[in-house]
């Protein structure tokens, strides 16, 4: 996800805090939330995607628009309201978002073969892991790329909307290639940004909210990276 709409307190823009047990525990919580959210989405997507009755009930009716737009609603609520909500509420919304995303992602099982989905998942995981590790360990300030990556993200969204009406395979290919580059960059950028949110001595409530919101950012980076790679390398049924 691009530059977040909220800022948690830090000692300075992308100043590198000392690497200590507190920071490692905080980042581990971020990755644990993200991993659990992805697992929940994957399980739900698999079972819904392999149930003809559920697929017909959801994607064969206007309910599909609710399923497609609901994740965006959760993202907006978390992005603009996390400072005002409790940690418990933030966690509930994150799990609800992950579950809804699972239903929304079920459609890929009707489009791509299971083998290609699994293959692209592991490619995405390896790419994400490498770039997140880079973002966590690099001494280079990646904040300078934030605006560029955000503009790229906006361009992808606008081009995707236009291509809904054009149906151009060439434009779709270009969007996917650019999308991979943008989300690879965002993975490193967001990891560094999430790291810089860490403040030693934060109250447990605040630390939990930071971990949940950080997990949401990385979840979105991973899912979008996987979807772009799936468009490029996925085998259609």
Q: Is residue 188 part of a domain?
A: yes
Residue 116 maps to a domain: yes
| Domain assignment present for 81 | yes
One pLDDT digit (tens) per residue for the chain, 237 residues? 333 334 444 434 444 444 588 899 999 999 999 999 999 999 999 999 999 999 998 988 888 888 888 999 999 999 999 999 999 999 999 999 999 999 999 999 989 999 999 999 999 999 999 999 999 999 999 998 988 998 999 999 899 889 888 888 889 999 999 999 999 999 999 999 999 999 888 899 999 999 999 999 999 999 999 999 999 998 887
d(CA 52, CA 31): 33
Count of residues for the chain? 237
Within a domain: 216 = yes
Please give the Cα distance from 58 to 52 (Å, whole number): 10
Distance CA 181, CA 187 (A): 10
Residue 57, domain member (yes or no): yes
pLDDT of residue 159: 92
Our count of domains for the chain comes to 1
Phi first, then psi: give them for residue 236, nearest 5 degrees: -75, 150
- Rounded to whole angstroms, the Cα distance separating 60 from 55 reads 7
Please report whether residue 12 resides in a domain.
no
Domain range for 214 is 21-233
| Distance, CA of 220 to chain centre | 1
């Amino acid at each position: 996800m691009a530059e977040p709409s909220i800022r948690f307190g830090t000692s300075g823009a992308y100043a590198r805090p000392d690497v200590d047990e507190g920071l490692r525990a905080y980042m581990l919580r971020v990755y644990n939330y993200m991993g659990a959210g992805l697992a929940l989405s994957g399980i739900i997507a698999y079972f819904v995607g392999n149930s003809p009755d559920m697929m017909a009930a959801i994607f064969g009716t206007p309910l599909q628009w609710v399923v497609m737009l609901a994740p965006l609603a959760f993202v907006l609520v978390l992005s603009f309201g996390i400072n005002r909500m409790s940690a418990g509420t933030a966690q509930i919304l994150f799990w609800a978002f992950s579950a809804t995303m699972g239903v929304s992602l079920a459609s890929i099982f009707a489009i791509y073969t299971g083998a290609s989905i699994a293959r692209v998942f592991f490619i995405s995981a390896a790419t994400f892991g490498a770039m997140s590790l880079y973002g966590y360990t690099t001494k280079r300030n990646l904040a300078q790329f934030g605006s560029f990556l955000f503009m790229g993200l906006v361009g992808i969204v606008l081009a995707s909307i236009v291509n809904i009406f054009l149906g151009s395979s060439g434009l779709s290919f270009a969007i996917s290639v650019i999308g991979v580059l943008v989300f690879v960059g965002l993975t490193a950028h967001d990891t560094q940004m999430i790291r810089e949110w860490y403040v030693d001595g934060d109250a447990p409530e605040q630390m939990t909210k930071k971990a949940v919101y950080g997990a949401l950012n990385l979840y979105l980076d991973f899912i979008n990276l996987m979807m772009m790679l799936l468009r490029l390398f996925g085998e259609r049924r």
